């Protein structure tokens, strides 16, 4: 019989693997990489639209914690949160092979200083060379999603060239993103060709990402109650404040 500790540690491993696959650009970051899907194939779920609920909860110490969950209502299932009039947010997401991220500030010794040719601005380059999920709301009047549509209309495919995702601003109301195409061509390294086929669909990825955490015996009674309630609603824990990505 599998031991509780093994299950717990496996669950924690899965969770940390998943979280590290999500892309969270900070103010001034520029992400460069190749979208995995070409945008033509309706059955390629590695680029997808989905609905989420974000509900505020409390940690054991009383601090706030946001809980995210996939809203199943759009997949013709009953959604307990929609039934309670909690409005879902519409988002899109895709897998990309991220080459590197340019940062405004140096926060790691391994990041190499690079200079922008035109402006002379110095940025710090973090090499990634791995797959990451980018997701976001469609934006006000769908501005952000329409930038992706523009790339598709211009080139007939989303993955002809390396794209650039730039985040400007850090607050909930003054943050905007720009997704544009470069003219750089990049072919996936051979060792990534198998891995790319094994990437889960975007909904599947978030379903796992937000699955309710494993209950531990050290948790206090309040936390247990909260977790039970969240289990019923299918909510998991997240540490990042999702409000900034709602708009």
- In terms of CB distance, is 160 or 203 closer to Zn ion? 203
- In terms of CB distance, is 28 or 212 closer to Zn ion? 212
In the window 59-98, what residues touch Zn ion (CB under 5 A)? 71, 73, 79, 81-82, 88
Q: How far is the CB of 23 from Zn ion (least distance, A)?
A: 24
Q: How far is the CB of 239 from Zn ion (least distance, A)?
A: 22
Q: How far is the CB of 91 from Zn ion (least distance, A)?
A: 13
**What are all long-range contacts of 165-170, with beta carbons under 8 Å and residues at least 24 apart?**
165/23, 165/25, 165/30, 165/31, 165/134, 166/25, 166/29, 166/30, 166/31, 167/25, 167/26, 167/27, 167/28, 167/29, 168/27, 168/28, 169/27, 170/26, 170/27, 170/244
- In terms of CB distance, is 14 or 229 closer to Zn ion? 229
Cα–Cα–Cα angle for 159, 177, 46, nearest 5°?
35
- In terms of CB distance, is 159 or 230 closer to Zn ion? 230
Closest Cα to residue 180, out of 141, 219, 147, 224?
147
Q: How far is the CB of 83 from Zn ion (least distance, A)?
A: 8
**How far, CA to CA in Å, does 176 sit from each of 94, 159, 204, 247?**
18, 23, 27, 9
> Alpha-carbon torsion 179, 181, 186, 187, what sign?
positive
- In terms of CB distance, is 36 or 71 closer to Zn ion? 71
Total residues contacting Zn ion (rule CB under 5 A)?
6
Q: How far is the CB of 85 from Zn ion (least distance, A)?
A: 10
- In terms of CB distance, is 21 or 73 closer to Zn ion? 73
In the window 12-31, what residues touch Zn ion (CB under 5 A)? none
Q: How far is the CB of 125 from Zn ion (least distance, A)?
A: 40
User: Per the structure block, which two tokens stand in for 19?
Assistant: 């979280």
In the window 92-131, what residues touch Zn ion (CB under 5 A)? none
Residues binding Zn ion (CB under 5 A): 71, 73, 79, 81-82, 88
């Amino acid at each position: 019989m599998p031991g509780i500790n093994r299950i717990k540690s496996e669950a924690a491993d899965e969770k940390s693997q998943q979280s590290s696959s999500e892309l969270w650009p900070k103010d001034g970051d520029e992400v460069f990489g190749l979208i995995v899907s070409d945008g033509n194939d309706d059955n390629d779920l590695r680029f997808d639209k989905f609905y989420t609920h974000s509900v505020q909860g409390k940690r054991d110490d009383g601090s706030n914690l946001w809980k995210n969950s996939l809203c199943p209502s759009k997949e013709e299932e009953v959604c307990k949160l929609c039934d309670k009039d909690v409005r879902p947010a519409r988002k899109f997401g895709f897998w990309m092979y991220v080459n590197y991220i340019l940062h405004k500030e140096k926060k790691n010794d391994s990041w190499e200083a690079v200079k922008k040719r035109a402006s002379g601005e110095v940025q710090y380059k973090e090499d990634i060379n791995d797959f990451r999920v980018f997701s976001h709301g469609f934006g006000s009047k769908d501005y952000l999603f329409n930038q992706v549509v523009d790339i598709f209309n211009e080139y007939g495919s989303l993955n002809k060239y390396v794209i650039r995702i730039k985040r400007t601003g850090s607050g909930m109301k003054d943050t905007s993103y720009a997704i544009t195409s470069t003219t750089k061509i990049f072919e996936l390294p051979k060792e990534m060709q198998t891995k790319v086929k094994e990437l889960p669909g975007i909904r599947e990825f978030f379903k796992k990402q937000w699955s309710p955490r494993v209950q531990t015996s050290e948790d206090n009674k309040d936390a247990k109650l909260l977790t039970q309630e969240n289990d019923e609603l299918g909510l998991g824990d997240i540490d990042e404040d999702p409000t900034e990505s709602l708009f």
